[in-house]
Amino acid sequence: MDGTRKDVEQYKDCHLGKEPPRAVIAHKDADSQRIYKAITQVPDSDLFSSDAFGGKYLIFSDSASGLVELPKITGSVLYLKQDYYEAMHALKVGSPPAPALDRKIQWCVISHAEHQKCDSLQIPRLECRRAESVEECIQKVMRREADAFAADGGQVYIAGKCGLVPVMVEQYIQQNCSYSGDNPAMNISVMCIEASSYHVVAVVRKGSGVTWSKLRGRKSCHTGLNRSAGWKVPDSVICGRTPNCTLYTFFSKGCAPGADPASNMCELCKGSGKAVGDESKCKASSAEIYYGFDGAFRCLAEKAGDVAFIKHTIVGDYTDGKGPEWAKQLKSDEFELICPGSPDETFKYSEFDKCKLASVPAHAVVTREDVRDDVVSILEAAQTSSDSMFKSVGERNLLFSDSTKCLQKYAKSLEEFLTKPYMDMIEKTYETGQGAPGIECVYDFLQ
C-alpha cells in the first residue's frame, strides 16, 4: 500500500491485513471441552486432508496442522481483534464517525476501592468503569467499553499480544521526573528514554530457617497469577524449562490470586476476611486481602506463607510504622531475602543488589493506539493538578503504585519496553503450560 513492490516471500512487509485462521463455532452454552475432545480424536491426517473427497479446504483448511482449544471467555471480538472486527463491521454499516475533539477517556478499575479513588480524583474528561480483573480490562479496552488501565509487565505482555500498547510508565525515582519550571509539585513528564524498572525479591521471616535450598514444599505468597514479581519471575527462576516443574507442584500450597479456586495456589488466600461464603477469595483484585505487592507481603507477615515474591521496596515501605494499620507493629529487621545465587544464606532486606531474582519493567498505562494521544494528554494534565494520583487511602497501590513519583510518556515498541530477556523469560514459563493466561489473542501466540 506504500506504492512499492516486494518479493512474494516478503509478504510480512507487504500485505493488506492479517486474517485470523478458521475457528470452530458453537453456542455459548455448549460444552466446548467435549466438542474439542471429540474432534481431536480424529487423526490429523484425516481431519485436515481433502484429497480423498476430490476437493480442497473441506470443513478444515488442508494446511492446518492441529487445533488449539481457546479459553471460554474468547468471544468474536477478542478472537478477531478490534481492527479486523471493525473493518468487517464497516463493510456492512460504514466507517464510524470521527471521535469528538473533547472525547472522554474511560479508565478501567478492578475493585470498589479503586473505583472510589478514581471518582475522587475528579480528573477532567476521565470517567471510571469497573471490571473484575485486569484480563477483563483488556477485553473491555479491545471492545471500546473502556480505554485505559495500569498493569504490571506480565499483564502488559498479554495486553500487547492483543494489540494494546504501553503509553506511559511509572517512574519511581524523583530525580528522573522532569518538572515545569522550578516547582517539583508540577510533575510534567518528558519522553521516557529508558523505562523505569524494579527488582524482584524473595522475602522470608527472619529466623524461620527458610533458605533457597530449603524452599521446596514450603507455603508461598504471590502477588497474582501471571504478574511479574509474584509469578513470572519465580516460575522462571525456580522451574525454567525443568520437566514437570511448576509452582503448583514445587510449593505445598500458596496464594496466587487469579489461580483456579480449586487449586493449591488458592488455599492460603484470605478473601475479604469473611468467615463463610466469601466470593472474594483468590480474586485477582484488591477484594482479596492477599492480592498485589502489599497482599503478598501481608500473607508472609501474618504467617500464612513462608516466602513472598514481591518488589524490593515493599519491606521498607510497610514496616517501622510506615505501613497501613495491619502492618503498624512490623519491624524491617524481622525480614530477610533469599536467592538462588547463595542457596544456604539469607541477606538483609536492604541488600537487594546482592540478592534479587530479576529486574523487571515498571508498571505501565496500557491503551489502544487510536486513543494514545488522548490518554497521555489527560494523564499529563492530571498529574500537574493533583497531589493524590499516587496516594491510596485505606488500601495500597490503587490505580497506580504508591511509590510512583510521576508518569512518563513512552513511545517505543512493546518489545523495547519489556526487553528481550524479560519476554524470553515470560515465554519460557508459558512452555510449561502452567499459569497460562485466561485470555489469549490466539493467533499472535501461535505465530
- 28-73 residue pLDDT tens: 788 888 999 999 999 988 899 998 899 999 999 999 988 988 877 6
pLDDT score at 76: 78
One-letter amino acid of 300: L
* pLDDT at position 275 over 70: no
- Cell numbers standing for residue 431: 512452555
Which regions of the chain carry the CATH code 3.40.190.10?
105-196+362-446, 197-360
Alpha-carbon distances of 112 from 119, 227, 335, 395, 400, rounded to whole Å:
11, 21, 31, 11, 15
**Which among 139, 146, 156 has a CA at the least distance from the CA of 74?**
139
- Residue 188 pLDDT class (50, 70, 90 cuts): very low
- Tell me which architecture the domain covering 197-360 has in CATH: 3-Layer(aba) Sandwich (3.40)
Higher pLDDT: 189 or 76? It is 76
| Residue 394: partners with Cβ closer than 8 Å, 6 or more residues away | 113, 324
Amino acid at 40: T
pLDDT of residue 73: 67
Question: 184 falls in which pLDDT band (50, 70, 90)?
Answer: very low
Mean pLDDT of 13-21: 86
pLDDT, residue 329, reads 94
- Compute the half-sphere exposure of residue 19: CA atoms within 13 Å on the CB side of its CA: 6
Q: In whole angstroms, give the CA distance from residue 153 to residue 159.
A: 10
Q: Return d(Cα 88, Cα 224) in angstroms, integer.
A: 36
Give ∠ CA 94-92-12 in degrees, rounded to 5: 85
- Residue 303 is predicted with a pLDDT of 97
pLDDT digits (tens, 9 = 90+) for 414-440: 999 999 989 988 887 776 555 455 555
pLDDT tens-digit readout, 310-333: 999 999 999 999 888 899 999 999
Amino acid at 381: A
pLDDT at residue 292, as a whole number: 92
Look at residue 445 and tell me whether its pLDDT is greater than 60.
Answer: no
Domain 105-196+362-446 carries which CATH code?
3.40.190.10
Rounded to whole angstroms, the maximal C-alpha distance in the chain is: 78
Distance CA 361, CA 304 (A): 28
Long-range contacts, 246-251 (Cβ 8 Å, 24+): 246/432, 246/434, 246/435, 247/220, 247/222, 247/434, 247/435, 248/434, 250/215, 250/216, 250/217, 251/216, 251/217, 251/218, 251/219, 251/220
> What distance in Å separates the CA atoms of residue 419 and residue 192, rounded to the nearest whole number?
15
- Give the integer Cα–Cα distance in Å for 31 and 36: 9
Alpha carbons 15 and 282: distance in angstroms, whole number:
44
pLDDT at 28 (0 to 100) = 78
Share of the chain above pLDDT 70, in %: 89
CA–CA separation, 297 and 314 (whole Å): 8
With beta carbons less than 8 A apart as the criterion, state whether 388 and 168 touch: no
Range of lowest pLDDT (227-231, 293-297, 435-439): 435-439
Angle between helices 134-142 and 153-161 (to 10 degrees): 30
Q: What is the pLDDT of residue 30?
A: 85
More confident residue, 182 or 410: 410
Average pLDDT, the chain: 87
pLDDT-derived band at 377, boundaries 50, 70, 90: very high
Tell me, what's the pLDDT at 186? 43
Of the listed ranges 74-78, 145-149, 221-225, 299-303, the least confidently predicted one is 74-78
State the pLDDT at residue 446. Answer: 40
pLDDT score for 279:
84
The three grid cell numbers given for residue 390, joined into one nine-digit string: 499516587
pTM exceeds 0.85 for this model: no
Q: Predicted confidence band at 181 (pLDDT cuts at 50, 70, 90)? A: very low
414 grid coordinates = 512493546
Cα 80–chain centre separation: 21
